[in-house]
Structures are given as C-alpha cells and as structure tokens.
Amino acid sequence: MAGQLDPTENSFVKNIVESAKRTAKAPVVKKDPVSNDNLISLCSMFQGSNDLTVVRDLAMILLSYSAFLRFSELSNLKCNDIIFKDSYLVVKIKKSKTDQYRAGDEVLVSKGQSMACPFDMLLKYVGLAHLDIFSDKYLFRPLYKSKNKSGLIQVNKPISYSTARECILKRLKLVAPELNLGLHSLRSGGATAAANSDVNERCWKRHGRWKSDSSKDGYVADSIENRLKVSKKLGL
C-alpha cells in the first residue's frame, strides 16, 4: 500500500532510536566509599554527646558500615532483630533483595576498640531511645522534637529513605566533604576496608550477602598497596 512503511524499515528505525537512547544515557557514577578514619573522626566530633538525633545517625552509619547493610535492610530492622552478645552483635536480616527464598540471614558484628564501635553506639542509642530490644517495633524510626525534649515517634513506621539520606550525608560531609557520597558509600566502604585487610573471601562474601563474585567486586576500591602486590610477585 502506498505510503505504508515497510516492516523491515520500521524495525530498523526502532533499532536506531534505541541505540541513540543508550548512547545518550549518562554514565554511571559510583559513590565513593567512606573509610575507618572518616568514621573515627566523625565519632570523635560527637564524643560524649547524648543528643538522640546525633546518636541515632551515628548508630545507623556504623551499623550500615560494619554489617555491609543496604538501606532496605537497615530500614526494615526491628528491635528484636538485634541480639547483643558479650563481644558481638547478631543482626538478623529477614528481608534482602538477594534472598530469593526469604530464608533470612544473620550478620555478626564484632565489638570494636575505637570510639566508632558499632556495638557501643547501638547500645547507647537503644538506651537513649528507651527501646525494648524484644519488641517488634522498627529499630530506626522518625524523631519528634518538643522544646528541649526529643524521642522516637510512637507510630511503628521505619525511617524514610529521604530522611535517612539527609541525616547520614549531613554527618559524613563533616569529615569527608570532598567525596561523592550516598547511602551506598557505607556498604561500599565497609566492603573495601575488609577486602584490603585480607579478610577470608568466603566469609567476606557471606557477610555482604552477595550472590556472585562480580556483584561483590563492584563494591570494592582496591588499595594501591594491594594493586602493587601483583607486580611485586613477578620477582622483577
């Protein structure tokens, strides 16, 4: 029929359009990982603070970093998902994007030696917020402030992504203003620190709950020292 586009030509045009879309797409810019030094510096700035807002933010930061938590995992944590042992924490991950069978997982977080210890900071947060660690309420909830008083809201709903991102990045920018930061900077930073410390790879992969080696490798920024080990081993 006159004027009708040939199916072959129609398919060709579609392919050209899709190719143009992919070409014009902005490149992915990964967030920079935070470091141990960043977190120790941050905690030293607020050492001795009993401000619930500050302690909640630091607890979210340190737990996300040490347990390699995605935001979805952090926000879904309930009080009874945290178990305090003598020298470590047990963090129950009931829902994760890599947990296809919804079987859940557990992450162990050791008690640290520095002022950026996630165990101590989380324990301090639980005390200041008057949380019942056996309850089914969300661990990190929005805060209310009334004159000189503050506390967690009674409604059982998790902290939102936008609020958590704003609070966490505000703190991290105090010690790392030059970095391109996001919430993933904490998971990436913890994974990077572990990888560059020669942690057992199988345990490291399990700690981060990655399904494949390619997935976990994308989180790590290898240190110069580790990268130089390759050529040093050549014996030249």
Q: Residue 188 falls within a domain, yes or no? A: yes
For the cut 60, the answer to whether the pLDDT of residue 98 exceeds it is no
Residue-wise pLDDT for 141-182, tens only, equals 999 988 778 899 999 999 999 999 999 999 999 999 999 999
Q: Residue 124 falls within a domain, yes or no? A: yes
| pLDDT band of 96, cuts 50, 70, 90 | low
Q: Residue 152 falls within a domain, yes or no? A: yes
Q: What is the C-alpha to C-alpha distance for residues 48 and 24, in angstroms, rounded to an integer?
A: 50
Query: What integer pLDDT is reported at residue 223 of this predicted model?
Result: 67
Q: Residue 121 falls within a domain, yes or no? A: yes
Residue 35, CB-side half-sphere exposure with 13 Å CA sphere:
11
Query: What integer pLDDT is reported at residue 30 of this predicted model?
Result: 77
Q: Residue 183 falls within a domain, yes or no? A: yes
Which CATH number covers residue 80? 1.10.443.10
Q: Residue 229 falls within a domain, yes or no? A: no
Query: What integer pLDDT is reported at residue 212 of this predicted model?
Result: 66
Q: Can you give the pTM of this predicted structure?
A: 0.79
What spatial distance separates the first Cα and last Cα of the chain, rounded to whole Å?
A: 73
User: Regarding beta strands 143-146 and 105-110, do their DSSP bridges make them parallel or antiparallel, or are they unpaired?
Assistant: unpaired
Q: What is the C-alpha to C-alpha distance for residues 166 and 183, in angstroms, rounded to an integer?
A: 10
> How many domains are there within the chain?
1
Q: Residue 127 falls within a domain, yes or no? A: yes
Q: DSSP letter for 28, please.
A: P
Both tokens of 180, joined, read: 């391109």
For the cut 80, the answer to whether the pLDDT of residue 63 exceeds it is yes
**Domain span at 110:** 36-212
Q: Residue 141 falls within a domain, yes or no? A: yes
Query: C-alpha distances in angstroms, 163 versus 19, 124, 190, 216?
Result: 37, 21, 22, 27
